[in-house]
Structure 1
Amino acid sequence: MERFTTEHYPKTKFLFFTGKGGVGKTSVASALSYTLSLENKKVLLVSTDPASNLQDIFQQALTNTPVLIEGTSHLYALNLDPIQAAEDYKNQMVAPYRGKLPETAIQSMEEQMSGACTVEIAAFNQFSAILTDASVQQNFDVIVFDTAPTGHTLRLLQLPMAWTGFLADNTSGASCLGPLAGLEGQKVMYKKAVEVLADGNQTTLMLVTRPEISPLREAARASIELEAIGIKNQQLLVNGVFEPSDANDLYAKVYKERQQASLLQMPAQLTQYPIYSLPLAPFSITNLERMEKRITDKPLEETISTEPIRQITTTSLQQMISNYIENPKRVIFTMGKGGVGKTTVAALVALGLANKGKRVHLTTTDPAAHLSWVLGDELPENLTMSSIDPKEVLATYKEEVLSKARETMNEDGLSFVQEDLESPCTEEIAVFRAFANVIEAHQDEVVVIDTAPTGHTLLLLDSSESYHKEISRSSGEVPVAVQHLLPTLRNPEETSVIITTLPEATPVYEAERLQQDLQRAGLTVHFWVINQSFSLIQTNDHLLKRKIISEQKWMERVDSLSNSHTVLIPWSLKEPKGLEGLHYLLQEEQTL
């Protein structure tokens, strides 16, 4: 792989950076934007990421209008706030019905528009306006989009295709429910945005990844889905390639070997595109000098702080498992954004409980999860495993809803229901129903769930149940398993949530928002897990020492967010894969 510099910058007007949360999209987009501006190119850097730390990088307040970055002459930036945009959008859609529908109906409508799909549409409205604004194109030579994590971005980029097709075929007008409302007036802008995104002469999409299996697989999935919607001008940027400063350091040696092994397993989908790399940075991207060094590869000499690392009180993985033995739960969730190790943590908890004699069922509702890859094929006698296919359960759910609706509705009513079923939130409900059935079927076991429903999903179920009574619209009866599960999930004596994150900016910010969402829905978070931490290892390697120092800030933040219920899982010399690897981590942790 060739090292990425400005010489490799794609010569298109628009440049999108995308990838899993925490792979370094924002820092790379910022560094490239600044370095291009040094070549007298007038650059606009746009963030549409709810987890963006663009303001922290430039140490300057940013709004939704372009402002000149201090210390530069050609770099402008703006920070679109999709959360606020979604709130404004929701208020705009709901306002006409206030005072005309019962308050319970209004609350239901607001909740239906409180999910991720509404944020995506609101963000897309904002950056479509930039993408199609002739004056913006005339004023800037290059427009760089620091977009949101992969799943978010894919749906975001697919929206113009999906929604314009939906609007063209729909004869009853956009639904007054959910995030599909109000799109009719955006047809012309969306059409232009589609043309710009799919035009390889105007747009390049940079898939940012790390030299690790999970982000590489995610990048491959992103690449395939982008191709399917006509975006084929892609490049791959592997960020954080490690080169040890101490060849004799055991941890440095194993870290490099693991990265190289992952790169050798790179999905074939990615190899058809230009591939570049950036080395693991020995510093945080916090000033303009460092941004230039990041892209130009000029040396930046810095000394390592000799100040002692401030210690926080943490719980070990074994202590957390023992806590679940002493305070048994029926249901244990592992939650967190993609790539932080939810599946590994779920497998470790399930295996740890099974080793202590508990009967455990481990299940996932994450289509990208690979429980069998993590656990292997041979399981302990008292540990069973299952998975839920979201596409399969969605198809079943849609048919059940329509079948029920056909009993009482005419064609106009059916069209209304079919339209509303196209909302991405429908999949959340369908998956939750399937997940409830799994718990109902394993009454006498501890059920550990890798990837659980969001707080929004639970509130959606509550509100839609009352809402259907108000407007006499049925989405089918609420199954017994769901009725039983809702109170169980809100009972901290029966249900526990483990939020998993990494000791890095984006994963922690995203996990913080997840906790707020869960609290809103009445779920209790018992533990936060910081996964793959280098803070517990002994190393002489220069870069790994810097990594340990950079973790400190985020460990302290998690300790505060978790009310000192923080579990620290060390970066392990043996990859936590298969029973052997998982047991090694469980045993290694006890010796640290």
Structure 2
Amino acid sequence: MTASLPNLPFLETVPRFLFLTGKGGVGKTSLACAAAVVLAGQGKRVLLTSTDPASNVGQVFGTTVGNAITAVPGVPGLDALEIDPQQAADAYRAAIIDPVRDVLPVPELSAMTEQLSGACTTEIASFNEFTSLLADETSTAAYDHVLFDTAPTGHTLRLLQLPGEWTTYLSDGKGDVSCLGPVAGLDRLRHDYAGALAALTDPARTRLVIVTRPQRSAIAEAARTYAELRALGMSDAHLVVNGVMPTYAVTPPGHDVLLDAIRARETAALAAVPDDLAALPRTTVPLLAFNTVGVPALRHLLDGVDGFDGATMTPVGDEIPSLAEDFTSLRRLVDDFEADGNGLVMCMGKGGVGKTTVAAALALELATRGHEVLLTTTDPAAHLTETLQADVAHLTVERIDPERAIAEYRDRVMAGKGKALDDAGRAALAEDLRSPCTDEVAVFQQFSHVVFRARKQFVVLDTAPTGHTLLLLDATGSYHREITRQMGDGPRFVTPLMRLQDPSRTKVVIVTLPETTPVLEARELRDDLARAGITPWAWVVNASLTAAAPTSPFLRARARAESPSLASVARLCDRVAVLPMLAHEPVGAPALSELTATPALTPTTQETS
């Protein structure tokens, strides 16, 4: 056990496994790295493991960390490991296919390879490595603590829910082939999955650390996460509120309208923390005026939380680097949409970057110009009507309901394919429809319908967080390949993937924040889209302090810290719109219209936006 640490409740009497989770962009990686440094500084042997497909643990430490345990320079006792999803998937696929490559007919091998080539299989392969660290403690016997920097919330929940689901699924498997591989050959994994679930739900071995920001949406997501994980059986939980505006930065009030507004929003959000979260032990970590990259910065992040000395740590200087001349505005993007006519606009990105806000602003501006617009989402956590807060002429708002889509899909398959089966066959089919990979297929069918509606109107799609979106696109690719095989050289056809790959029909807009981790994950998304033959049409950098031109020394220091991220985005795409951080939340039609009101980025409009 670890000795008590003042001001850091989540690091008091730490069990062997520490599991950090939360909405994308809340600072899990920085906190996981900082916590690992603190524990190693007490003489503990620590392994920091990332299960995030877009991990940047190595970048935070300023070293190369890969899919092998690596010592972190400058921190004795600390090792790090980044699970490489693609490498894990390749090895997983080979382990299943290679033994039967010379036995099965080519068509069956092709079908198996197809089944094991999707994003779902990649997730499963990563999960296998994750479970081995939990279930087989001999593999981590050299360490006092193992810290997990998890993927964004949606992905994490899938990983954590799988042990229980798969234990049942494997018990009842009849030799089917799924994205897990041939079920009959997976019985040996039951022990690992059961062991992982036992470790996760044992408070003597595992602590859940829910990381959030002092923001309404992030806290709401944290509450949903805690409810689901508590239902899973994870009872030892702590709350960390990261990035709280330090007191010294807002003294005296009135110095900077934007800073005062941010602090007021934070205070209101923290006062409204749901009771379940409020009852948890809480650690508050102040916002730093610089990026937490490198061991010295990480040590400072959790050193003397209550006695944070802003005066000595805030960089000096008044100048904020200018935005690149070729950056554009959201209004100019809408001009280009309008010029090209009806089509699909897909706002994509990790959770917490403002996809819903950007999608709503784009749809509102198109509708205001008299176009018929459908604004819809595949994100179960999105709240489009709350964002708009008004009925707008020419604008229809819908939501793809995953639960209803799944229920309708199962009923349809049972009524069709199951009609000709006997009782045993229907039972097997029903079991297959409850497997972990069915849900995305069900949602995809409704997604495909939305894609084709864009032939006659503008459709703005607020997608789910990146992990779910890629599963949808993977399903699109599988559908495309199947239709291509069936149609052969027959009649002409257009599949959803073909529409997504055609920039005259679909404009993919990647939304990010001017911070290291969001930009890194957005770049990973761009690379994944490229493998599907899809090229992003534009990027939107949301909530930029550089574009807001603040007057507070603290916010100006934070604006300077955006420079590397903005420069990185400029290198990744030729069409980039930068949105300023607003003094009020972009909720309601008038506030959303502000985001598309300015035709260009100038210092004057930045300050008044």
Same fold, TM-score > 0.5, yes or no: yes
- 2:188 pairs with 1:178: no
Could you tell me how far apart the structure 2 residues matched to 1:433 and 1:91 are?
Answer: 30
TM-score by length of 2: 0.87
2:316 counterpart letter in structure 1: I
Correspondence for 1:553:
564
Partner of 1:316: 329
Q: In structure 1, give the amino acid aligned to 2:591.
A: G
| Structure 1 residue identity aligned to 2:277 | L
Q: Is 2:259 aligned against 1:252?
A: yes
Question: SS in structure 1 opposite 2:239?
Answer: strand
Distance of 1:164 and 1:512 partners within structure 2: 35
Contact 1:358 1:446 (8 Å CA) reproduced: yes
Shift of 1:412: 6.2
Tell me the residue number matched to 1:272: 279
Local SS of the residue matching 2:283: strand
Structure-2 separation of matches of 1:522 and 1:35: 44
Partner of 1:586: 596
Summarize deviations over 1:155-200 as a string: whole Å, max 9, x none.
Answer: 1111111111111223x13x33313545321111222221111011
Q: Structure 1 stretch 72-81 or stretch 356-365: which is displaced more?
A: 72-81
Report the Cα distance in structure 1 between the residues aligned to 2:422 and 2:398, rounded to whole angstroms. Answer: 39
Q: Mapping of 1:271-350 within 5 angstroms?
A: 271-297=278-304, 299=309, 301=313, 303-304=315-316, 309=321, 311-312=323-324, 313-350=326-363
Q: Which of 83, 93, 97 matches 2:86?
A: 83
Per the alignment, residue 196 of structure 2 pairs with: 193
% identity of equivalent residues: 37
Q: Which residue of 2 aligns with 1:202?
A: 205
Q: What is the correspondence of 1:141-540 to structure 2 with a 5 Å cutoff?
A: 141-170=144-173, 172-173=174-175, 175-179=176-180, 181=182, 182-243=185-246, 244-245=249-250, 247=253, 248-297=255-304, 299=309, 301=313, 303-304=315-316, 309=321, 311-312=323-324, 313-376=326-389, 378-409=390-421, 414=426, 417-438=429-450, 444-451=456-463, 453-454=469-470, 455-465=473-483, 485-540=496-551
1:155 aligned counterpart, secondary structure = helix
Report if the CA contact (8 A) 2:510-2:538 is conserved.
yes
1:568 to 545, 560, 578: 578
Paired residue for 1:577?
587
Q: Which runs of 5+ in 2 are unaligned?
A: none
The separation in 1 between residues aligned to 2:103 and 2:145, in whole angstroms, is 48
Q: 1:268 to 1:588 in 2, by over 3 A?
A: farther
Could you tell me which residue of structure 2 aligns to residue 95 of structure 1?
A: 98
Tell me how far 1:489 sits from its aligned partner: 3.0
Moved more, 292-301 or 482-491: 482-491
Secondary structure, counterpart of 1:498 in structure 2: strand
After the TM superposition, which of the residue ranges 539-548 and 497-506 deviates more from structure 2? 539-548
The one-character-per-residue Cα deviations of 1:472-507 (angstroms, maximum 9, x if unpaired) are xxxxxxxxxx96645433332122111111112222
> CA 1:549–1:130 in 2, change beyond 3 Å: closer, same or farther?
same
RMSD over aligned Cα, in angstroms? 2.8
Instruction: Return the alpha-carbon distance in structure 2 between the equivalents of residues 487 and 117 of structure 1.
Output: 21
Equivalent pairs, count: 576
Secondary structure of the 2:150 match is strand
* Superposition TM-score, scaled by structure 1 size: 0.90
Q: Would the aligned equivalents of 2:540 and 2:577 in 1 still touch at CA under 8 Å?
A: yes
Match in the other structure for 1:478: none
- Could you tell me how far 1:153 is from its partner in structure 2? 1.0
Are 2:57 and 1:51 equivalent residues in the alignment? Answer: no
CA separation in 2, counterparts of 1:509 and 1:88?
A: 25
Provide the C-alpha distance between the structure 1 equivalents of 2:101 and 2:317, rounded to a whole number of angstroms.
Answer: 58
Quote how far apart the aligned CAs of 1:231 are.
Answer: 0.7
When residues 585 and 489 of structure 1 are mapped into structure 2, their CA distance, relative to the original with a 3 A threshold, is closer
- CA distance in 2 between counterparts of 1:202 and 1:366 reads 33
| Residues 576 and 302 (structure 1), Cα distance of their counterparts in 2 relative to 1, 3 Å cut | closer
* Inter-partner Cα distance in structure 1 for 2:555 and 2:38: 27
- CA distance in 1: counterparts of 2:189 and 2:480, whole angstroms: 32
Residue type of the alignment partner of 1:462: H
AA in 2 matched with 1:369: A
User: AA paired with 1:546?
Assistant: A
Letter in 1 for 2:586: P
* CA distance in structure 2 between the partners assigned to 1:532 and 1:7 by the alignment: 30
User: In 1, distance between residues paired with 2:66 and 2:459?
Assistant: 45
Query: Is the 8 Å Cα contact of residues 371 and 458 (structure 2) preserved in structure 1?
Result: yes
Amino acid of the structure 2 residue aligned with 1:179: L
What displacement does 1:73 show? 2.4
Task: Name the SS for the 1:78 alignment partner.
Answer: strand
Task: Give the drift of 1:115.
Answer: 3.6
Range moving further from structure 2, 259-268 or 359-368? 259-268
Contact residue 250 and residue 260 of structure 2 kept, 8 A = no
Superposed displacement of residue 345, structure 1: 0.8
- What is the SS of the residue equivalent to 1:447? strand
One-letter amino acid matched to 1:570: P
Contact kept, 8 Å, 2:343 with 2:457, in 1: the verdict is yes
Judge which range, 568-577 or 420-429, deviates more.
420-429
Retained in 2: the 8 A contact 1:238–1:275? yes
Correspondence list, 1:20-169, <5 A: 20-96=23-99, 98=101, 106=109, 109-136=112-139, 138-169=141-172
The Cα of 1:105 is off from its aligned counterpart by 6.1
Post-superposition offset of 1:514: 2.1
| Contact 2:323-2:547 at 8 Å conserved across structures | no
Q: Shift of residue 321 of structure 1?
A: 0.7
Describe the shift of the 1:447–1:469 C-alpha distance in structure 2 as closer, same or farther (beyond 3 A).
closer
In the alignment, the residues of structure 2 paired with residue 270 and residue 387 of structure 1 have an alpha-carbon distance, to the nearest angstrom, of 28
The answer as to whether partners of 1:329 and 1:493 remain within 8 angstroms in 2 is no
Q: Residues 303, 550 of structure 1: CA spacing in aligned structure 2 closer, same or farther, 3 A cutoff?
A: closer
The farther-off stretch of 92-101 and 258-267 is: 92-101
C-alpha displacement of 1:524: 3.8
Please tell me whether the aligned partners of residues 458 and 521 of structure 1 are also in contact (alpha carbons under 8 angstroms). no
Residue by residue over 1:522-543, the C-alpha shift from the partner in whole angstroms, topping out at 9 and shown as x without a partner, is 3342111111111112223233
Offset, 1:438:
4.2
CA distance in 1, matches of 2:537, 2:463: 16
Partners of 2:85 and 2:548 lie apart in 1 by 39
The 1:129/1:467 distance shift into structure 2, 3 A limit, reads farther
Change beyond 3 A, Cα 1:445–1:10: farther
CA contact (8 A) 1:4 1:278 kept: no
TM-superposed deviation, 1:65: 4.0
Partner-residue secondary structure (3-state), 1:536: helix
Answer whether contact 2:366 2:373 (CA < 8 A) is retained: yes
Secondary structure at the aligned position of 2:460 is classed as strand
Report what 1:476 is aligned to. none
1:444 alignment partner, SS class: coil
Amino acid aligned to 2:58? Q
* SS state at 2:177 partner: coil
Q: Give, in whole Å, the separation in 2 of the partners of 1:3 and 1:541.
A: 31
The aligned amino acid for 2:551 is N
Listed one character per residue, the Cα deviations across residues 347-395 of structure 1 (whole Å, up to 9, x for unaligned) are 101111111111111111211000011001x222211111121011111
Deviation at 1:554, TM superposition (A): 1.5
